[in-house]
């Protein structure tokens, strides 16, 4: 099934976490405000329902505007099937008034996999036992998400192309003791796999997770990259060339860091949230220029990391390879070097003759040609004139004055030289032959 529109808002908040202690995360406080509880400013207040409500309010769908998870049991319409993006309501402890609410992603025989807030004090993906499920709900008036044979074909092609590049960059199994990510396979760390499967990492689960990571299948790898990186980083809203660069950065730097790098590259306020303002700024700039700037920022960030001595050469090579691939992709796509906004193009100079059929003009319109003719008339004719029957007589010289002739020649030569240089600077078109008759 295709993903409903509201899930883009949910994925955009993945990784948001309570501040801890006296520090409060303003992004979590925004959830309270969006559902009408702006008086709450501390993120310790249970906020799973606030998260779900904020996602719907931002999508133009009325929520319950309640902070009680079980309020969603009376909202929308009940559904029996596990539908991507449905609201799943669960029990929490023995208190019948308590509960938990999140968005349904997938399920197996024993667990539901959900994306929700206040899951481990963060917006995250968790596995919750089926035995705790109270009900699944769907918004009124939105209908079921239509079957489309899977993902949108164009979006699927963009993602698969970007994923193929990332997997090539990441390689296979590694367990470098200097790598803070620990065991990694196809770029998926053990911690990421554990979070995706909803399993806590401890002394008991570690060896099992390590083996599972070594044996991970391509379908699960694809699902992890799609749900954990591609969708949250908003790559689907970007042209393929830039989506490739931003997706690769999100995988290698992390979602928060890549979002800030992107915002720095496009020149907007840096808050780590890829929203309409950031996407609009992306759309207003030529893709190739933005790619170069983004790549420079990535290189600078790598050089600032403590493990650059160990992995720096590979990191920089990765940026170079990603930039080269993205620039080729931008060149192949129409408008690849123009701003992303539809209908807006950067001015283009006429192509050189070797690249296409450039416009032409008559040679008589060329300042360069006329400059050369004036120079010749002023400096060459007096010298070679007698050889072809044109002579400046001694009487004429007496009448005009020898100095006047020299000044005229010098001024003519200067004017001709100036017109030659100026005409060459202005020239942007080829000369064409045109027949003309000169009467002497």
Which helix (H) or strand (E) segment is 116 a member of? strand 111-116
How many CA atoms, within 13 angstroms, populate the side-chain half-sphere of residue 116? 29
Give the chain's domain count: 3
Residues 310 and 132: their CA atoms lie apart, in Å, by 47
Tell whether 147 is covered by a domain.
Answer: no
Claim to verify: residue 97 and residue 165 sit in the same structural domain: no
Radius of gyration over every alpha carbon of the chain, rounded to an integer in angstroms: 34
Looking up tokens 């050889």 gives 387
Q: Which domain holds residue 58?
A: 6-138
Looking up tokens 């006296």 gives 22
Claim to verify: residue 134 and residue 157 sit in the same structural domain: no
Tell whether 439 is covered by a domain.
Answer: no
Q: 254: phi > 0 → left, psi -120 to 50 → alpha, else beta; which? A: left
3-state secondary structure of 385: helix
Picking from 113, 138, 163, the residue at the C-terminal end of a domain is 138
Residues 436 and 6: their CA atoms lie apart, in Å, by 72
Cα separations in angstroms, 88 against 2, 31, 339: 18, 18, 41
Per-residue pLDDT of the chain (440 residues; tens, 9 = 90+): 567 889 888 988 888 888 777 778 888 988 999 888 888 888 777 899 999 999 998 888 889 999 999 999 999 888 888 888 999 999 988 777 789 999 998 888 889 999 999 998 889 889 999 999 999 999 986 655 444 344 556 667 889 899 999 999 988 888 877 776 778 888 898 888 888 777 888 888 888 888 989 998 888 899 889 888 898 888 888 888 889 999 999 998 988 899 999 999 989 888 887 877 788 788 777 888 899 999 999 999 999 998 898 888 999 999 999 999 999 988 765 444 555 443 333 333 233 333 333 334 445 545 555 555 555 555 555 665 666 665 555 455 445 444 544 555 556 566 656 655 555 555 444 444 544 554 44
pLDDT at 342: 39
Claim to verify: residue 230 and residue 269 sit in the same structural domain: yes
Claim to verify: residue 381 and residue 295 sit in the same structural domain: no
Tell whether 342 is covered by a domain.
Answer: no
Which helix (H) or strand (E) segment is 371 a member of? helix 367-375
Cα separations in angstroms, 437 against 377, 434, 440: 19, 10, 10
Claim to verify: residue 166 and residue 38 sit in the same structural domain: no
pLDDT at 170: 87
Claim to verify: residue 298 and residue 246 sit in the same structural domain: yes
pLDDT at 376: 57
Claim to verify: residue 200 and residue 68 sit in the same structural domain: no
Claim to verify: residue 196 and residue 100 sit in the same structural domain: no
Claim to verify: residue 256 and residue 302 sit in the same structural domain: yes
Tell whether 122 is covered by a domain.
Answer: yes
Residues 363 and 371: their CA atoms lie apart, in Å, by 12
Claim to verify: residue 107 and residue 246 sit in the same structural domain: no
* Contacts (Cβ under 8 Å, ≥6 apart) of 53: 31, 34, 35, 63, 64, 65, 66
* Contacts (Cβ under 8 Å, ≥6 apart) of 253: 261, 298, 301
Tell whether 58 is covered by a domain.
Answer: yes
């Amino acid at each position: 099934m295709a993903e409903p529109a509201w899930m883009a808002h949910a994925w955009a908040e993945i990784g948001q976490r309570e501040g801890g202690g006296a520090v409060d995360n303003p992004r979590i406080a925004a959830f309270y405000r969006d559902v009408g509880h702006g008086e709450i400013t501390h993120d310790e207040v249970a906020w799973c329902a606030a998260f779900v409500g904020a996602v719907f309010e931002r999508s133009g769908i009325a929520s319950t505007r309640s902070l009680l998870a079980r309020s969603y049991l009376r909202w929308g319409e009940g559904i029996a099937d596990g539908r991507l993006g449905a609201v799943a309501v669960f029990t929490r402890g023995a208190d019948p008034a308590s509960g938990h609410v999140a968005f349904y992603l997938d399920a197996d025989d024993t667990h539901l996999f959900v994306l929700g807030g206040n899951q481990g004090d963060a917006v995250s993906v968790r596995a919750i036992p089926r035995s705790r499920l109270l009900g699944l709900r769907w918004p009124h008036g939105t209908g079921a998400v239509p079957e489309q044979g899977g993902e949108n074909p164009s979006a699927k092609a963009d993602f698969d192309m970007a994923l193929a590049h990332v997997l090539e960059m990441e390689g296979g199994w590694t367990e470098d003791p200097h790598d803070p990510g620990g065991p990694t396979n196809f770029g998926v760390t053990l911690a990421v796999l554990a979070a995706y499967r909803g399993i806590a990492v401890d002394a008991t689960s570690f060896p099992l997770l390590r083996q599972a990571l070594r044996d991970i299948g391509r379908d699960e790898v694809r699902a992890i990259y799609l749900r954990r990186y591609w969708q949250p980083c908003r790559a689907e809203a970007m042209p393929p060339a830039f989506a490739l660069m931003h997706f690769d950065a999100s995988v290698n730097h992390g979602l928060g860091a890549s979002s800030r790098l992107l915002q720095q590259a496009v020149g907007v306020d840096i808050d780590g949230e890829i929203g309409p303002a950031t996407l609009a700024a992306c759309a207003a700039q030529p893709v190739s220029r933005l790619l170069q700037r983004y790549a420079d920022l990535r290189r600078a960030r790598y050089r600032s990391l403590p493990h650059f001595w160990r992995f720096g050469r590979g990191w920089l090579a990765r940026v170079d390879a990603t930039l080269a691939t993205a620039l080729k992709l931008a060149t192949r796509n129409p408008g690849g070097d123009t701003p992303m906004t539809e209908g807006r193009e950067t001015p283009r100079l006429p192509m050189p003759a070797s690249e296409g059929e450039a416009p032409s003009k008559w040679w008589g319109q060329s300042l360069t040609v006329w400059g050369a003719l004036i120079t010749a008339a002023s400096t060459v004719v007096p010298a070679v004139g007698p050889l072809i029957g044109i002579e400046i007589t001694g009487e004429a010289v007496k009448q005009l004055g020898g100095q006047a002739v020299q000044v005229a020649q010098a001024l003519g030569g200067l004017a001709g030289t100036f017109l030659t240089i100026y005409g060459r600077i202005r020239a942007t078109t080829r000369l064409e032959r045109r027949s003309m008759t000169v009467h002497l």
